[in-house]
Amino acid sequence: MNTFYKYAVFLIISLVIVAGIVLPIPNIPALGDKARVLYFHVPMSWISVVAFVMSLWYAVRFLKSKEISYDIKSFSAAQLGFLFCILATATGSLWAKFNWGSFWNWDPRQTSIFILLLIYGAYFALRSAIDAEEQKARLSSVYAIIAGITMPFFIFIMPRLVETLHPDPIINNSGKINMDTSMLIIFLTSLLGFTLLFLWVMNLKTRLEMLKYRKSLKQAQ
């Protein structure tokens, strides 16, 4: 991670905040200026899913190689994913208050993010209940994988149960992108910026956890 990377992250996110608030957007019925939330809220949920997938990926690598550094990466990704999951829930429900009239109304997307929160919560509860480092890594990796493979079922289940009021995601069911070009550019820049930010903070967290682990090894000796 060189210095250029960090300044790039700073620049991109600053740009997105300014452009997202200042630049005019086409009028969208019932949404109006609240459509700008898209630039900030969607990257949060995007990162919470990316982090979950990364955590899974490192969990699999850990089980294959038994390298504790993979588990540390898996844990760091999960912790950041949890943070962004909370941010996505908070920003989403604030938006829902002004668009749907209540903070929480079990829209399918709210339910999905709620389940993701539950999985993250269960993962940390499991980790805190095991003392031995190696066993903690093994069991929590197994749990992450079990939880990860059951998540995709929601994609099939949710549409059967309730209809969503949530605005179309970028790639909607018809596979078309229906967004104003300037909005799309800002949105994609925002996704990029927040993803880079996530990778940076995750790098910091991994290094920190690595130091903690080494220190605990030293103390054990």
Partner 1 sequence: MYEFLETNSMYVVLLIVLIIWIGIFGYLKSMDKQIKNLETKE
Partner 2 sequence: MKDFINNVRIVFLKDVRSELRTRYVINSLLMFVLVTISIIRFAIGDEKIEDEILTGLLWISIFFSASGGLARTFVKEEEKETSAALKLSASPTEIFAGKLIFNLVLTFILNFLILILFILITEYNIKNPVLFISVLSLGNVGLVAASTIIAAIISKANSKGTLYPVLSFPVLLPLLLTVINATKLASAGINPGEIMGEIQILVSYTVVVITASVLLFPFVWED
Q: Is 192 in the site for partner 1 (CB under 8 A)?
A: no
With CB under 8 A as the contact rule, the residue among 31, 87, 138, 170 that binds partner 2 is 138
Least distance in Å: CB of 78 to partner 2?
14
* Nearest residue to 137 via CA among 79, 74, 81: 74
Which of these segments, 30-38, 67-75, 113-121, 181-189, binds partner 1 (CB under 8 A)?
30-38
Structure tokens at 164: 């969503």
Could you write out the DSSP letters of every residue in 160-213?
HH----SPP-SS-TT----S-HHHHHHHHHHHHHHHHHHHHHHHHHHHHHHHHH
Which of these segments, 15-23, 35-43, 76-84, 111-119, binds partner 2 (CB under 8 A)?
111-119
201 binds, among partner 2, partner 1, none (CB under 5 to 8 A by kind): partner 1
Q: Is 141 in the site for partner 2 (CB under 8 A)?
A: yes
Q: Are 11 and 192 in contact (CB under 8 A)?
A: no
With CB under 8 A as the contact rule, the residue among 44, 50, 77, 199 that binds partner 1 is 44
CA pair distance 37, 101, nearest whole angstrom: 16
Which of these segments, 17-25, 81-89, 141-149, 173-181, binds partner 2 (CB under 8 A)?
141-149
Q: Is 163 in the site for partner 2 (CB under 8 A)?
A: no
Which of these segments, 8-16, 124-132, 183-191, 200-208, binds partner 2 (CB under 8 A)?
124-132
* Nearest residue to 145 via CA among 48, 203, 74, 66: 74
Q: Are 134 and 106 in contact (CB under 8 A)?
A: no
CA pair distance 82, 87, nearest whole angstrom: 9
Structure tokens at 23: 């630049």
Q: Is 188 in the site for partner 2 (CB under 8 A)?
A: no
Residues of span 94-123 touching partner 1 by CB under 8 A = 94-95, 98
Q: 9-23 burial, b for 16+ CB within 10 Å, e for fewer?
A: beebbeebeebbeee
Residues that bind partner 1 (CB under 8 A): 17, 20-21, 32-34, 36-37, 40-41, 44, 80, 83, 86-87, 90-91, 94-95, 98, 197, 201, 204-205, 208, 211-212, 215
Residues lying near partner 2 in the complex (CB under 8 A) are found at 63, 115, 118-119, 121-122, 125-126, 129-131, 135, 138-139, 141-143, 145-147, 149-151, 153-154, 156-157, 160-161
